[in-house]
Amino acid sequence: MLFSFELSTKNRNALVDITSTVKHFVEKSGVVSGVCIVYVPHTTAGVTINENADPSVKFDIENTLSKIVPPDLNYSHAEGNSDSHVKSTLVSPSISLIIDNGKLLLGTWQGIYFCEFDGPRRRKVYVKIMKD
């Protein structure tokens, strides 16, 4: 089953918690055992899994990526968003999660984040759910 949704980001860089939306699609699918793939079809965005209990973790991730990949290097790409392309490569456009007993196998503190690196924008996310 393939699901999709759109979201709007407000800042150039942002981590948006999409865990509840993905969980909703898993429940809606009725799949008890399988795999859930979350995919972002954008070259300046990504998706990741990380802690969602302490909001300072999101800040630390955004801040560290901006230090590792600053916007003002001598990039050859002329659009002015080369740092966004590099960050999305480091983060990845997709993640795979295990579905067991009808639920995503996430750790106690884990959440799923859409990662915006070239906002604000309207973005699309695909969620593919396959049963064993």
Structural domain boundaries enclosing 83: 2-131
Q: Quick: pLDDT tens for 87-130.
A: 999 999 999 999 999 999 999 999 999 999 999 999 999 999 99
The reported pTM is: 0.95
Question: What's the rounded Cα separation, in Å, for the pair 84 and 119?
Answer: 9
| pLDDT band, residue 78 (cuts 50/70/90) | confident
CATH of the domain at 38: 2.60.120.460
Looking at the structure of the chain, the number of domains it has is: 1
Q: Tell me the one-letter amino acid at 34.
A: G
Residue that is written with structure tokens 């392309």 in the block: 85
